[in-house]
């Protein structure tokens, strides 16, 4: 029994030591940090089970996991984060949104300083509802294809999503509706991202560009630095989790205690609750710990010449200006496993203007409709190994990493153009580097 | 839409019109399958039937029947789950409508055993077998081979390496334990279970999975249902899985509710599940269940239960299992769960006594060691009583009837005293052998 105790005996390592996994199977994103203590182990697996739990319509005999809806998008967290990895966009209008949702708002600023929810449909289209309650409607994704030609003659088919709706049950959305389609992101390494100090982000923004989002911290009742979500619109992992339970599953928590029904949704408001709140603080603690302590895949093939060449090109093209390889972290206030050191997430966690092609036109706190948080790239090389289907970028429009690169605009346009004009060997090397992450 | 909005919406063009591809029909399916399973069937079904919008409602098997009798009544079209007991209960209440099944393709049987309802009120859609999941690397450290039979892991060399699920806490385990009992007989079967338990760490309904223990190297072999093992292997885990020759199966079924509001769509879904396309999904690396269609198995199939039954007939009777599973759970808890440390110690003492006796060739010591083993193997329930309708009813009804619960608790107290007495006695007998041999 010595082996399982080793992390305790040795103590937690610094930075991402103890948070990397050499597992490259389809379970690569589901590994506990090796520094996970024996004390936290049962909590970690409890959190894992809640993350995989299919939630139940209340009332139910299993009253610890009831309270789904009344309106919701999917029945479990894992539905949109398959194998803890990224989701995907529908292939076309004939397919439902299975790992994707659509945020809604109207022009203006909400009570917390974020987007102003639609008065009837709220801040997210909930496509499903429990029996006896009316679901809001369905989103449909069409694609308009266009071709981008790369140096050397390679032609890449790019698909631009075109969103429409059917079966809207509470009337039209209105001409001023703001929408933003989102696929589920990968969920490993989040505890490490949480440990990047605020002042590091602010200093980075001052010295290298990009913007810190300032968002609303519900627990503290105060403005805070945003770092989670594709617009960096959540300040803490705990709030990100609670918001997703609330918005995607219709599960209330102490952070979001009211059911996800607008005034116009009468049956929704009258539906039976699964408790007050439905997700207990202990359950939220467990899911939070689980996501904080999921290990990050170790890099592979780093000594390969093409990978090393690709890494150099990643820097020289300018990709690393925003996809910053290394960030410092401080001791995590609640997770002794996370200690001062450095991590290699390939993000600066800042907002950047990515141009018209990617813009959703939906401001979110300080983030404009053209701004997105730099996506962490660690583990991206295993995305297609882990997931049956995966998409890239916030709405999954990109089916490959190369397509994702080619959608970059705005501040990233120079880097994108260097990639597009690079010779095929260089492009291949850069992609090989990304595969090694 | 104004020019300003169009400019802001340039990334995701938006059409506010209602899409033309609206689904014409709706379908509500009640299930207890995990997301990885139902989502793949949902997706494939909707591809085949784009005119049907499928909504999934989830309930654990024990909560499905109350839901269908009450809140879900008239709102659910299809019940789809691995809970033979629930299907038989609901069918008896007249809650299902008959299905039309092509028996030339979907036999509804494996060898001598019926999978589906003889009145076609519910139909089998998949099977799962019980067996042994191993970590060859962990076993190799002790020089042990991959076990292939239940009896292999009762060998003292596997002491501390085995994971055994507790049947009263882990859904698939009652069926698995009764598979051993039916195959080996009541007394020999319990002896085997007891000896396996002596080598094992018990797994309840906590947060850890059997595969977690094996993956972490904290155990080398687990008694389990095949899809956990086969799916883990398909996802890259360095495990092995073997079906013992005395195996058994758990079945899952589908039924269309008698009061289904969308019965036509429900029948389409039921037909899809048993179709070649539906059955092919069972081979998905996240599902790994066994098909109920013989034509699903190619010559290179990893395992073919239809071929298997011709070579080694199954001995498990699922209806018998349903009748006595509550009794077996209770007996297991009194023999194993409630006194696991004492049981392990008693088997350790008896095994040591047997080794000591064997090493000396002392016939009296050998007989005394055998007597200790017989004491340890005593049961408070005779084989005939294990199928006694009155006794079975006490345990079956205990959750619903206070009188039955009181009677069940009284019986359990008697069993507890019985096992405590016999474990202590067996340990004393074994110790006497050890002392006798040491004194020679």
- Model pLDDT for residues B230-255, shown as the tens digit of each residue: 999 999 999 999 999 888 889 999 99
Q: Do residues B138 and B120 share a domain?
A: no
Radius of gyration for chain A, computed over Cα atoms and rounded to the nearest angstrom: 21
Please name the member of B2, B21, B217 whose beta carbon is closest to the beta carbon of A140: B21
Radius of gyration for chain B, computed over Cα atoms and rounded to the nearest angstrom: 26
Domain positions in chain A: 2-435
CB contact under 8 A, B35 and A52: yes
Structure tokens, B327: 């009794």
- Model pLDDT for residues B185-231, shown as the tens digit of each residue: 999 999 999 999 999 999 987 777 888 889 888 999 999 999 999 99
Preferred mutation among B15, B32, B58 to probe A, highest tally of A CBs within 10 A: B58
pLDDT above 70 coverage of chain B, percent: 93
User: Per residue, what are the HEC states of chain A?
Assistant: CHHHHHHHHHCCCECCCCCEECCCCCCHHHCECCCCCCCCHHHHHHHHHHHHCCCECCCCCCCCCECCCCEECCCCCCCCCHHHCCCCCCCCCCCCCCCEEEEEEEEEECCCCCEECECCCECECCCEECCCCCCCCEEEEEEEEEEEECCCCCEEEEEEEEEEEECCECECCCCCCEEEEEECCCCCCHHHHHCCCHHHHHHHHHHHCCECEEEEECCCCEEEEECECCCCCECCHHHHHHHHHHHHHCCCCCCCCCCCCCCCCHHHHHCCCCCCCCCCHHHHHHHHHHHHCECEECCCCCCCHHHHHHHHHHHHCCHHHCCCCCEEECCCCCCCCCECEEECCCCCCCEEECCCCCCCCCCECCECCCEEECCCCCCHHHHHHHCCCCCECCCCCECCHHHHHHHCCHHHHHHHHHHHHCCHHHHHHHHHHHHCC
List C-alpha distances in Å: A137 to A128, A173, A317, B91. 8, 11, 43, 35
Measure in Å the smallest separation between the Cα of B128 and chain A Cα atoms.
21
Please name the member of B11, B18, B285 whose beta carbon is closest to the beta carbon of A356: B11
- Tell me which residues of chain B, numbers 23 to 42, contact chain A at a CB-CB cutoff of 8 Å: 28, 34-36, 39
Residues of A in contact with B17 (CB under 8 A): 164
Distance of alpha carbon A194 from alpha carbon A335, whole angstroms:
11
Please name the member of B2, B18, B286 whose beta carbon is closest to the beta carbon of A165: B18
Q: What is the pLDDT of residue B407?
A: 97
Q: Do residues B386 and B401 share a domain?
A: yes
Distance of alpha carbon A291 from alpha carbon B213, whole angstroms:
20
Residues of B in contact with A95 (CB under 8 A): 43, 46-47
Q: What is the pLDDT of residue A121?
A: 97
Q: What is the pLDDT of residue A11?
A: 39
CB contact under 8 A, B35 and A163: no
Sign of the alpha-carbon dihedral angle for A273, A275, A277, A279: negative
Check if B403 contacts A (Cβ < 8 Å). Answer: no
Q: Do residues B106 and B165 share a domain?
A: no
pLDDT above 90 coverage of chain B, percent: 78
Asked if the model's pLDDT at residue B82 lies above 80, the reply is yes
Residues of A in contact with B47 (CB under 8 A): 94-95
Q: Do residues B381 and B301 share a domain?
A: no
- Model pLDDT for residues A413-422, shown as the tens digit of each residue: 999 999 999 9
Tell me the average pLDDT across A283-305. Answer: 97
Residue with tokens 């040591």: B352
Phi, psi angle pair for B285, to nearest 5°: -65, -20
pLDDT above 70 coverage of chain A, percent: 97
Q: What is the pLDDT of residue A62?
A: 87
Residue B291's CATH number: 3.40.190.10
**Which chain B residue lies closest to A83 (C-alpha atoms)?**
B36
Tell me the average pLDDT across A156-179. Answer: 97
Paired with A223 in beta bridges are A216
Q: Do residues B133 and B118 share a domain?
A: no
pLDDT tier at B169, thresholds 50, 70, 90: very high
Residue with tokens 């009194």: B334
Measure in Å the smallest separation between the Cα of A209 and chain B Cα atoms.
23
Check if B285 contacts A (Cβ < 8 Å). Answer: yes
Range of the domain at B45: 25-126+252-311
User: Per residue, what are the HEC states of B239-281?
Assistant: CEEECCCCCCEEEEEEEEECCCCCHHHHHHHHHHHHCHHHHHH
Residue B74: CB atoms within 10 Å: 11
Asked if the model's pLDDT at residue A98 lies above 70, the reply is yes
Tell me the average pLDDT across B61-65. Answer: 92
Tell me the average pLDDT across A112-132. Answer: 96
Please name the member of A42, A45, A358 whose beta carbon is closest to the beta carbon of B11: A358
CB contact under 8 A, A27 and B235: yes
Residues of A in contact with B236 (CB under 8 A): 23-27
Asked if the model's pLDDT at residue B23 lies above 70, the reply is no
Residue B6: CB atoms within 10 Å: 12
Asked if the model's pLDDT at residue A12 lies above 50, the reply is no
Distance of alpha carbon A189 from alpha carbon A98, whole angstroms:
24
Measure in Å the smallest separation between the Cα of B285 and chain A Cα atoms.
10
Please name the member of B18, B21, B66 whose beta carbon is closest to the beta carbon of A94: B21
Give the SS3 label for residue B211. Answer: helix
Q: What is the pLDDT of residue B314?
A: 57
Preferred mutation among B11, B65, B207 to probe A, highest tally of A CBs within 10 A: B11
pLDDT tier at A118, thresholds 50, 70, 90: very high
CB contact under 8 A, B10 and A60: no
- Model pLDDT for residues B297-334, shown as the tens digit of each residue: 998 888 888 886 544 555 678 888 889 999 999 999 99
Measure in Å the smallest separation between the Cα of A242 and chain B Cα atoms.
20
Tell me the average pLDDT across A294-315. Answer: 97
Phi, psi angle pair for B377, to nearest 5°: -90, 0
Residues of A in contact with B235 (CB under 8 A): 25-27
Q: Count of domains in chain B?
A: 3
Tell me the average pLDDT across A45-49. Answer: 96
Q: Report ipTM for this prediction.
A: 0.88
CB contact under 8 A, A163 and B34: no
Asked if the model's pLDDT at residue B438 lies above 70, the reply is yes
Asked which of B221, B242, B263 is the last residue of a domain, the reply is B242
Distance of alpha carbon B390 from alpha carbon A165, whole angstroms:
60
Sign of the alpha-carbon dihedral angle for A371, A373, A379, A385: negative
Residues of B in contact with A37 (CB under 8 A): none
Q: What is the DSSP letter of B314?
A: -
Sign of the alpha-carbon dihedral angle for A57, A58, A59, A63: positive
Q: What is the pLDDT of residue B421?
A: 98
Give the SS3 label for residue B124. Answer: strand
CB contact under 8 A, A165 and B206: no
Distance of alpha carbon B305 from alpha carbon A281, whole angstroms:
46
Residue A111: CB atoms within 10 Å: 8
Q: What is the pLDDT of residue B380?
A: 98
Please name the member of A55, A165, A180 whose beta carbon is closest to the beta carbon of B19: A165
**B37 CB-side CA count, 13 A:** 22
- Tell me which residues of chain B, numbers 180 to 199, contact chain A at a CB-CB cutoff of 8 Å: none
Measure in Å the smallest separation between the Cα of B250 and chain A Cα atoms.
22
Asked if the model's pLDDT at residue B426 lies above 90, the reply is yes
- Model pLDDT for residues A58-88, shown as the tens digit of each residue: 999 888 999 999 999 999 999 999 999 999 9
Q: What is the pLDDT of residue B302?
A: 84
- Tell me which residues of chain B, numbers 57 to 86, contact chain A at a CB-CB cutoff of 8 Å: 57-60, 62-63, 66-67, 71-72, 75-76
Structure tokens, A257: 């205690």
Residue at B261 is within a domain: yes
Distance of alpha carbon A319 from alpha carbon A264, whole angstroms:
46
Residue B69: CB atoms within 10 Å: 12
Asked if the model's pLDDT at residue B17 lies above 70, the reply is no
**Which chain A residue lies closest to B8 (C-alpha atoms)?**
A361
Asked if the model's pLDDT at residue B15 lies above 80, the reply is no
Task: Note whether A287 and A241 are within 8 A (CB).
Answer: yes
Distance of alpha carbon A61 from alpha carbon B407, whole angstroms:
24
In degrees, rounded to 5, the angle at the alpha carbon of residue A124 between the alpha carbons of residues A123 and A128 is 140
Measure in Å the smallest separation between the Cα of B230 and chain A Cα atoms.
14
Residues of B in contact with A173 (CB under 8 A): 16
Check if B46 contacts A (Cβ < 8 Å). Answer: yes
Residues of B in contact with A142 (CB under 8 A): 15
CB contact under 8 A, B57 and A94: no
Residues of B in contact with A160 (CB under 8 A): 13
Residue at B154 is within a domain: yes
Q: Do residues B431 and B370 share a domain?
A: yes
**B235 CB-side CA count, 13 A:** 24
Structure tokens, A37: 């203590």
Task: Note whether A77 and A243 are within 8 A (CB).
Answer: no
Check if B11 contacts A (Cβ < 8 Å). Answer: yes
Average pLDDT, chain B: 91
Q: Do residues B111 and B139 share a domain?
A: no
**Which chain A residue lies closest to B32 (C-alpha atoms)?**
A54
Distance of alpha carbon B149 from alpha carbon B144, whole angstroms:
14
Q: What is the pLDDT of residue B199?
A: 98
Q: Do residues B65 and B112 share a domain?
A: yes
Preferred mutation among A67, A125, A131 to probe B, highest tally of B CBs within 10 A: A131
Check if B4 contacts A (Cβ < 8 Å). Answer: no
Q: What is the count of residue pairs from A and B with beta carbons less than 8 Å apart? A: 155
Distance of alpha carbon B315 from alpha carbon B325, whole angstroms:
16
List C-alpha distances in Å: A170 to A97, A119, A122, A125, A129. 20, 11, 11, 11, 14
Structure tokens, B238: 């360095």
CB contact under 8 A, A52 and B34: yes
Measure in Å the smallest separation between the Cα of B31 and chain A Cα atoms.
10
**Which chain B residue lies closest to A408 (C-alpha atoms)?**
B11
Task: Note whether A74 and A95 are within 8 A (CB).
Answer: no
Task: Note whether A234 and A243 are within 8 A (CB).
Answer: yes
Please name the member of A25, A60, A369 whose beta carbon is closest to the beta carbon of B8: A369
Please name the member of B9, B56, B237 whose beta carbon is closest to the beta carbon of A75: B56
Please name the member of B14, B50, B58 whose beta carbon is closest to the beta carbon of A56: B58
Q: What is the pLDDT of residue A257?
A: 97
Residues of A in contact with B207 (CB under 8 A): 42, 45-46, 48-49
Instruction: Specify the higher pLDDT residue, A47 or B5.
Output: A47
Q: What is the pLDDT of residue B24?
A: 62
In this predicted structure, which of A164-178, A189-203, A405-419, B307-321 has the lowest mean pLDDT? B307-321
Residue at B5 is within a domain: no
**Which chain B residue lies closest to A174 (C-alpha atoms)?**
B16
List C-alpha distances in Å: A224 to A112, A113, A189, A234, A236. 12, 12, 21, 9, 9
pLDDT tier at A13, thresholds 50, 70, 90: low
Asked if the model's pLDDT at residue A433 lies above 80, the reply is yes
Q: What is the pLDDT of residue A2?
A: 34
């Amino acid at each position: 029994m010595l082996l399982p105790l080793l992390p305790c005996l040795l103590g937690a390592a610094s930075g991402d030591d103890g948070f990397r996994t050499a597992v490259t199977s389809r379970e690569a994103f589901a590994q506990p940090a090796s520094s996970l203590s024996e004390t936290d182990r049962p909590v970690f697996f409890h959190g894992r089970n809640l993350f995989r739990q299919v939630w139940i319509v209340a009332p139910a005999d299993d009253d610890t996991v009831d309270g789904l809806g009344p309106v919701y998008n999917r029945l479990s967290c894992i539905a949109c984060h398959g194998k803890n990895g990224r989701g995907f966009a529908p292939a076309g209008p004939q397919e439902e949104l299975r790992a994707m949702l659509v945020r809604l708002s109207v022009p203006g600023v909400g009570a917390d300083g974020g987007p102003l929810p639609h008065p009837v449909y709220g801040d997210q289209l909930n496509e499903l509802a429990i029996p006896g309650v009316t679901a809001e409607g369905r989103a449909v994704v069409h694609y308009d294809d266009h071709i981008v030609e790369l140096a050397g003659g390679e032609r890449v088919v790019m698909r631009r999503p075109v969103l429409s709706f059917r079966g809207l049950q509470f009337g039209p959305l209105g001409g001023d509706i703001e929408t933003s389609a989102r696929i589920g992101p990968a969920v490993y390494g989040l505890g490490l991202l949480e440990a990047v100090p605020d002042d590091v982000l602010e200093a980075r923004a001052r010295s290298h560009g990009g913007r810190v989002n300032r968002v609303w911290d519900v627990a503290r009742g105060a403005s805070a630095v945003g770092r989670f979500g594709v617009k960096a619109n959540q300040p803490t992992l705990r709030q990100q989790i609670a918001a997703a339970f609330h918005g995607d599953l219709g599960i209330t928590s102490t952070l979001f205690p009211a059911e996800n029904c607008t005034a116009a949704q009468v049956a929704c408001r009258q539906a039976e609750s699964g408790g007050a709140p439905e997700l207990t603080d202990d359950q939220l603690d467990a899911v939070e710990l689980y996501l904080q302590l999921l290990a990050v895949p170790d890099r592979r093939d780093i000594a390969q010449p093409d990978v090393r060449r690709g890494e150099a090109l990643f820097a020289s093209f300018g990709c690393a200006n925003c996809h910053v390889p290394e960030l410092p972290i401080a001791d995590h206030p609640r997770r002794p496993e996370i200690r001062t050191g450095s991590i290699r997430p390939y993000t600066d966690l800042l907002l950047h203007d990515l141009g018209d092609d990617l813009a959703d036109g939906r401001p979110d706190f300080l983030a404009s409709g053209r701004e997105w948080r730099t996506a962490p790239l660690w583990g991206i090389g295993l995305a297609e190994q882990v997931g049956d289907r995966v998409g890239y970028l916030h709405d999954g429009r990109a089916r490959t990493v190369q397509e994702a690169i080619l959608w970059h605009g705005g501040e990233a346009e120079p880097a994108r153009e260097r990639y597009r004009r690079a010779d095929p060997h260089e492009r291949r090397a850069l992609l090989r580097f990304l595969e090694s992450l | 839409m104004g020019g300003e909005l169009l400019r802001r919406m340039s990334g995701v063009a938006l059409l506010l019109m209602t899409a033309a591809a609206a689904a014409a029909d709706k379908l509500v399916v009640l299930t207890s399958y995990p997301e990885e399973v139902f989502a793949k069937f949902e997706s494939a079904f909707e591809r085949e039937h784009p005119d049907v919008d499928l909504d999934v409602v989830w309930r654990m098997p024990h909560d499905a029947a109350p839901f269908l009798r009450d809140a879900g009544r008239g709102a659910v079209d299809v019940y789809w789950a691995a809970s033979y007991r629930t299907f038989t209960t609901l069918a008896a209440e007249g809650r299902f409508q008959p299905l039309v099944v092509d028996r030339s393709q979907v036999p509804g049987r494996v060898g001598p055993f019926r999978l589906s309802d003889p009145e076609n009120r519910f139909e089998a859609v998949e099977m799962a077998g019980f067996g042994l999941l191993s970590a060859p690397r962990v076993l190799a450290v002790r020089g042990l081979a991959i076990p292939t039979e239940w009896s292999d892991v009762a060998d003292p060399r596997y002491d501390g390496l085995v994971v055994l699920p507790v049947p009263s806490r882990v859904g698939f385990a009652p069926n698995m334990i009764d598979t051993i009992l039916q195959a080996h007989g009541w007394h020999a079967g319990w002896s085997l279970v007891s000896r396996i338990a002596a080598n094992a760490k018990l797994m309840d309904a906590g947060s850890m999975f059997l595969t977690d223990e094996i993956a972490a190297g904290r155990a080398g072999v687990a008694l389990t249902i095949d899809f956990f093992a086969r799916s883990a292997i398909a996802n890259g885990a360095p495990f092995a899985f073997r079906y013992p020759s005395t195996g058994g199966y758990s079945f899952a079924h589908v039924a269309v509710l008698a009061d289904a509001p969308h019965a036509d769509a429900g029948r389409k879904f039921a037909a899809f599940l048993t179709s070649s396309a539906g059955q092919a999904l069972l081979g998905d690396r996240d599902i790994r269940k066994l098909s109920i269609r013989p034509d699903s198995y190619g010559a290179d199939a990893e395992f073919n239960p239809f071929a298997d039954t011709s070579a080694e007939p199954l001995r498990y009777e699922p209806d018998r299992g349903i009748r006595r599973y509550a009794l077996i759970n209770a007996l297991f808890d009194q023999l194993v769960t409630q006194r696991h440390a004492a049981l392990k110690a008693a088997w350790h003492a008896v095994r040591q006594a047997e080794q000591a006796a064997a090493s000396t060739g002392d016939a009296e010591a050998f007989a005394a060691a055998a007597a200790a083993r017989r004491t340890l193997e005593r049961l408070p329930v005779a084989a005939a009583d294990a199928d006694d309708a009155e006794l079975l009813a006490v345990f079956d009804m205990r959750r619903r009837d206070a009188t039955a619960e009181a009677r069940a608790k009284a019986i359990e107290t008697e069993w507890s005293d019985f096992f405590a007495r016999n474990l202590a006695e067996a340990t004393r007998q074994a110790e006497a052998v050890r002392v006798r041999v040491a004194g020679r």
